[in-house]
Amino acid sequence: MPWGLCGGSSVSWSCRGCGGSLVLGHALFSLTASVTFRIGLGRSFRESDLDNESFQELFHEVEAMLGSFNASEYFPFLGWIVDRFSGRFQRLERIFHELDNFFQHVIHLHLNPERTKQKHEDIIDVLLRVEREQSEFGAAQFTKDDIMAVLMNIFLDGVDTGAITMIWAMAELAKNPRLMKKMIIKETLRLHPLVPLLIPRETMSHFKINGYDIYPKMLLQVNAWGIGRDPKYWNNPEEFILERFIKSSTDYKGQNFELLPFGAGRRGCPGMYMATTTTIELALANLLYFFDWKLPDRMKEEDINMEESVGLYCLTTNKKKTSLNLVPIKVF
Ligand code: HEM
């Protein structure tokens, strides 16, 4: 079985004509994993000789941990007691030990002298070269630990972000079939931002918002999900209306604060262009160009469950709670 998103996030589809069925969520996940591996490792996941099942399991465990309540972050003085007794610390240590092993293995593969004969460098080759050249000049500020941290970001953030957004886009399209031929990414990200609460920020100075005093060193969380549905900024905010963007310059690049699916500022998402151009646009364009998508017999548009499976904490990914069954009709 190929890659799978946990349970409900998948889109399953059965093919009219061939009679077989496939889980599209799995296929999309497999695609984004392969794009990320190709960018990171220079080859697709299947070619990477890594154990698919255990990587997938580890990946979802990390995701669940990042989305779960972290008492130390919210109650810095006493929270660690809760985290220690709940077993969170121990689980984190084990998971990050396994991740370290994984990244060390990947780096080890790149240190093979045979690789230097290859003309094409991938990201790890470049990072290793930066590390080597720094050492040669005696600066030695960039270490293998830094390389592992960069890889952690690429793999953890690069794999299922695109797949989840595509699943939401397909679900919205199945509900609004007249929109099948139009561009839908902005409106999908407005209604279903993957990270509903952005990365927490610490305030540097005192200021006031809506009559509230905000003091220095306070933890602030920006609710991108709430802003995207705020009737002060959006007409009929709960409705999927992609025409709202046709004559508007509003974009998701961090300049328009009413649309922040990728955050903004220094901590804004560095993977935004990779996600939108190399993954989501490419895959959605192919899915919509080669197939018309219909609902299975007897199912109506209003029967599609648009519930989100999301927690309250930052870094929780906003997945579709239940799977979506679609029937592709081949156009060509
Ligand atoms: C649809 C796809 C994606 C969405 C919606 C998304 C969204 C976000 C958001 C909202 C943040 C927090 C920004 C903030 O608080 O201002 C973030 C951070 C981040 N994203 Fe993405 N992301 C996506 C894909 C990716 C990809 C493909 C990568 C890398 C390959 C990536 C790497 C990161 C990293 C490393 C951070 C942390 C940045 C920091 O802490 O400074 N993301 N992303």
Q: Mind listing the pLDDT tens digit for each residue in 45-70?
A: 666 666 666 666 777 787 777 767 77
Query: What sections of the chain are H helices per DSSP?
Result: 24-41, 52-67, 71-74, 79-85, 88-110, 123-136, 144-158, 160-175, 185-191, 224-228, 272-273, 282-290
What predicted TM-score, i.e. pTM, was given to this entire model?
0.78
Q: Does a structural domain hold residue 241?
A: no
DSSP per-residue string spanning 233-285? TSSSTTS--GGGGTT----SSSS-TT--TT--GGGS-TTHHIIIIIIIIHHHH
* 46 belongs to a structural domain: yes
Whether the pLDDT of residue 138 is over 70: the answer is no
What pLDDT score was predicted for residue 262? 95
Kindly report which listed range (61-75, 97-111, 297-311) carries the lowest average pLDDT score.
61-75
Q: How far apart are CA 328 and CA 292, in angstroms?
A: 6
Task: Return the bridge partners of 123, or none.
Answer: none
Task: Find out whether the beta carbon of 198 lies less than 6 Å from any atom of ligand 1.
Answer: yes
ipTM of the complex: 0.98
Is 10 inside any structural domain? yes
User: For position 135, what pLDDT does the model report?
Assistant: 66
Q: Is a pLDDT exceeding 60 seen at residue 6?
A: no
Task: Identify the band that residue 265 occupies on the pLDDT scale cut at 50, 70 and 90.
Answer: very high
Number of domains in the chain: 1
Q: Which residues pair with 62 in a beta bridge?
A: none
Residue indicated by tokens 């990947």: 106
DSSP reduced 3-state for 209: strand
Q: What is the CATH number of the domain that holds 142?
A: 1.10.630.10
Average pLDDT, integer, range 192-203: 90
Does residue 251 or residue 66 have the better pLDDT? Answer: 251
Q: Is 67 in the pocket of ligand 1 (CB under 6 A)?
A: no
- The confidence score (pLDDT) of residue 19 equals 37
Cα separations (Å) of 11 from 17, 57, 222, 327?
A: 19, 20, 30, 10
66-75, 198-207, 318-327 — which one is most confidently predicted on average? Answer: 198-207
Is the model more confident about 134 or about 219?
219
Question: In which band, very low, low, confident or very high, does the pLDDT at 88 lie, cut at 50, 70 and 90?
Answer: confident
What spacing in Å lies between the alpha carbon of 311 and ligand 1's midpoint? 18
Query: Does the CB atom of residue 267 touch ligand 1 within 6 A?
Result: yes
Q: Distance between CA 270 and CA 272 in Å, rounded? A: 6
**Residue at 255 is within a domain:** no
For residues 118 and 36, the model is more confident at 36
Share of the chain above pLDDT 90, in %: 20
Domain housing 189: 3-198+267-330
* CB 314 within 8 Å of CB 221: yes
How long is the chain?
Answer: 332
Q: Indicate which residue's Cα is closest to atom 40 of ligand 1.
A: 267
Residue 157 resides in a domain: yes
Q: What is the DSSP string of 135-169?
A: HHTT---S-HHHHHHHHHHHHHHHSHHHHHHHHHH
Report the pLDDT value the prediction gives residue 20, as an integer from 0 to 100: 37
Which residue's structure tokens are 């609902």? 295
Name the residue at shortest CA distance from atom 43 of ligand 1.
Answer: 269
Other residues' Cβ atoms within 10 Å of the Cβ of residue 209:
8
- Atom of ligand 1 at shortest distance to CA of 264? 16
174-193: per-residue pLDDT in tens? 888 777 656 789 999 999 99
Q: Mean pLDDT over residues 229-257, rounded?
A: 93
| In the predicted structure, residue 240 carries a pLDDT above the cut 50 | yes
C-alpha pair distances (Å), 35 with each of 79, 125, 271, 277, 279:
38, 17, 13, 11, 7
As a whole number of angstroms, the distance between CA 173 and CA 180 comes to 6
Most confident of 64-68, 218-222, 278-282: 218-222
**Given a cut of 80, is residue 89 above it in pLDDT?**
yes
Q: Is the CB of 261 under 6 A from ligand 1?
A: yes
6 is in an annotated binding site: no
Alpha carbons 272 and 290: distance in angstroms, whole number = 26
Tokens 């931002």 sit on residue: 193
Distance in Å, CA 270 to ligand 1 centroid: 6
153 C-alpha vs ligand 1 centroid, how far in Å? 9
Question: Would you state the pLDDT for residue 310?
Answer: 62
How far, in Å, CA of 198 to CA of 237, rounded? 20
262 located within any domain: no
Dmax of the chain from CA atoms? 70
Does residue 62 fall inside a structural domain? yes
In a domain, 74, yes or no: yes
